[in-house]
Amino acid sequence: MRNLLPLALTLTLVGCSNSPSECTVARVAERHIAVRYPEFDSVKNSPLVEDKEQTWQVRYELPKGTLGGTPVVIIEKGTLKVLRSFHEQ
């Protein structure tokens, strides 16, 4: 049983194409979006994490040929606290 946790953590990190810190930021944004924008599928649409000096900015890719906007979440680097979010059109 004790050996399963490292394996699960390894699988989680290997499945993420970004750095581990960017993966954590994407998860924070995903949790925020689930509450604030429940109609948006943050799992289906890939996150784009951008380093903005003191904050992270997370937005999402839409499938090709799709018109519309996505939520944008601004997260403080030091605390991983969501500072603000909005929906682009």
Q: Is the pLDDT of residue 66 over 60?
A: yes
pLDDT digits (tens, 9 = 90+) for 2-44: 443 333 333 333 345 567 688 999 999 999 999 999 999 888 8
Asked if residue 8 lies in contact with residue 15, where contact means CB atoms within 8 angstroms, the answer is no
Residues 6+ apart with CB under 8 A from 29: 42, 47, 58, 71, 73, 75, 82
Catalogue the E-assigned strands of the chain.
Answer: 47-52, 55-60, 71-76, 82-87
Q: Is the pLDDT of residue 70 over 60?
A: yes
Asked if residue 56 lies in contact with residue 50, where contact means CB atoms within 8 angstroms, the answer is yes
User: Across the chain, what does the average pLDDT equal?
Assistant: 82
Q: What domains appear along the chain, each with residue ranges and CATH number?
A: 4-87 (3.10.450)
pTM: 0.75
Asked if residue 53 lies in contact with residue 86, where contact means CB atoms within 8 angstroms, the answer is no
